[in-house]
Structure 1
Amino acid sequence: MTETLSSENGRTVLRMRRELRHPAEKVWRAITEPGQLAGWFPAAVELDLRLDGAVRFTFEHDPGAPVDEQSSGVIRAYEPPHLIEYTWGVEVLRWELQPTEDGCTLHLTATYDDRAGSASFAGGWSLCFDALRRVLGDSVPERDCRELHEHFVKVFGLDQVTLTDDGGLRFERQLVHPKEAVWELLTGAEAASVGSPPPAGFVAKGIDPGPVGEVEAPLRLTYGWSGGEVTWALRDGNGGARLVLTQTGPAADYLTAWHDLIETLAVAADL
């Protein structure tokens, strides 16, 4: 595996590497020329290829969207044909090419703030690299984005529930299906309504739940327990629902139970 995830200066850094059977000059054109980028990059890109040059990103479903800080960037390093670094909103993408006897090595360093989304980012870039190799002329089999996502969740340890400083817990997990589908799995055949017991899907083993105190399908459900409060929150994430689970009160004894419940949910959502 060539992917690594780290925290540097308060930000998340994803590093990926691919060995390519093509000279650096050929790969450089594929990562900088809009016509070739269109065959593999996740957005259409316009680059003013110079230091401090502007970069613009647009998507096929919204080509007329106004340029804002999330759809624009600037080139921060430019040394053709070996290095280009630019921003994409608050994200930084650094592409480096190192010549080898058989072609070149492509290094991607992505710096961003959304650590919980790292499995989606790594899986997405893996598929982009497959497409890049096809643009270069290689034959590359198709892969399943959901399988890649769950692979990187495990590799990067993004499936771990952690304790907060006050003894509660917080868990953030990117899922691969929309929040509406996840909510349906959580509720099952039971109704989720204020004053009623929460559907079983929302309750970890060992917790004696109180009645639902707040519910807004498919976004939020809160109920009490003997030591505090449990809150499930769902929103749109990168490629599916983003789940944030919190439990206040002394929660250390429930780490394993929550981990098992949420991983069962992730598997069920992928069926």
Structure 2
Amino acid sequence: MTETLSSENGRTVLRMRRDLRHPAEKVWRAITDPTQLAGWFPAAVELDLRLDGPVKFTFEEDPGAPVDEQSRGVIRAYEPPHLIEYTWGVEVLRWELQSTPAGCTLQLTATYDDRAGSASFSGGWTLCFDALERVLGDTVPERDYRELHEHFAKVFGLDQGAVSEDGELRFERQLTQPKEAVWKLLAGAQPAAVGSPPPDGFVAKGIDAGPVGELEEPVRLSYGSTGGVVTWALRDGNGGARLVLTQTGATAEDLAAWRDLIESLATQLVH
């Protein structure tokens, strides 16, 4: 499996390629036939196989949900048995097959806006590729999604934050468990309260933390620090909570300290 992540025309582009020991025609059926798609694709798919044909995506847990723009798509390129490209809401999925002496190569090019969610998307699509191989008749061992997620977070540099010239620090990190579980781990046995020191889990090494100034469990906590304010924000993300941590008046040392804390948190959530 080969994966790359890039920015193109203001959007994020994920490319994933896998060599398959099956002819392109067989794999083509597996990626276009709704019956076979049901065995590996993340949603049930109905599609009219023609250029500009409509596509509909439905999730098993909510089959009666109204069809909105995020569950619709349209086929933008169609050259059987080698190429199909369609939209899924605002995302674009392009599937390309190239014959090889051993079978064929399947490449997915996914174009979307949420770069911080790329570890989740990469881990999820990796498991989908595994399931596709099983549909094709291969034996593929099961893999752990959370471990894949953290692998891609590091490979793609999604574990890095940044400090601007005016000292604004920011981390945006997709995590692998719900925000309630993340908050519980951060708070530990020490409940957070406005006017009291923040629980230790919310404070990186070297940060001089003042009392909690803003609190909304399990989504927001802020407190003053030397020269600025630290804010933790958690919301629902793809496959778990999305963490956005900011600090004003930050230094390069603060950046390293926060990265260590966040990566320790991410590791604990995997296990």
Provide TM-score, normalisation by structure 2: 0.98
Deviation by residue 1:104-158 (Cα, 9 ceiling, x = unmatched):
1001000001111101111100000000001001111111111111110110011
Aligned to 1:231: 231
CA distance in structure 2 between the aligned counterparts of 1:141 and 1:244, rounded to whole angstroms: 34
Shift of 1:255: 0.9
* 1:249 shift after superposition: 1.4
Task: Verify the 8 A CA contact 1:222 1:231 in the aligned structure 2.
Answer: yes
Q: Which amino acid aligns with 2:20?
A: L
* Structure 2 CA distance for aligned equivalents of residues 256 and 219 of structure 1: 24
Q: Stretches of 4+ moved more than 4 A in 1?
A: none
User: Residue 66 of structure 2 aligns to which amino acid in structure 1?
Assistant: P
Deviations 1:169-196 (A, max 9, x none): 1101111111101100111111211111
Deviation at 1:245, TM superposition (A): 0.3
Residue pair 1:31, 1:37 contacting (<8 A) in 2 also: yes
Give the corresponding residue for 2:265. 265
Unaligned runs of 5+ in 1: none
Post-superposition Cα deviations, 1:59-97, rounded to whole Å, max 9, x if no partner, equal 000001111111111110001110000000111000000
State the match for 2:52 in structure 1.
52
Contact conserved, 2:84 with 2:94, CA < 8 A, in 1?
A: yes
1:164 Cα deviation after fit: 2.7
Q: Which residue of 2 aligns with 1:213?
A: 213
- Report whether the alignment pairs 1:69 with 2:69: yes
Equivalents in 2 of 1:75, 1:126: separation in Å?
23
Preserved contact between residue 48 and residue 54 of structure 2 (Cα < 8 Å): yes
Corresponding residue of 2:197: 197
Q: Which residue of 2 aligns with 1:97?
A: 97
Residues 105-254 of structure 1 correspond to what in structure 2 (within 5 A)?
Answer: 105-254=105-254
Give the distance between the partners of 1:67 and 1:54, measured in 2 at CA. 13
Q: Secondary structure at the match of 1:107?
A: strand
Letter in 1 for 2:188: G
Residue 165 of structure 1 deviates from its aligned partner by 4.5
C-alpha deviation, 1:253, in angstroms? 2.4
What amino acid sits opposite 2:129 in the alignment?
F
Paired letter, 2:219:
L
Give, as a single letter, the amino acid of the residue that structure 1 aligns with 2:107. H
Report SS of the residue matched to 1:211: strand
Query: Aligned residue for 1:6?
Result: 6
RMSD, aligned α-carbons: 0.9
Gaps of 5+ in 2: none
Q: How many residues align?
A: 271
> Could you tell me the percent identity over the aligned residues?
81
Q: Distance in 2 between matches of 1:55 and 1:248?
A: 45
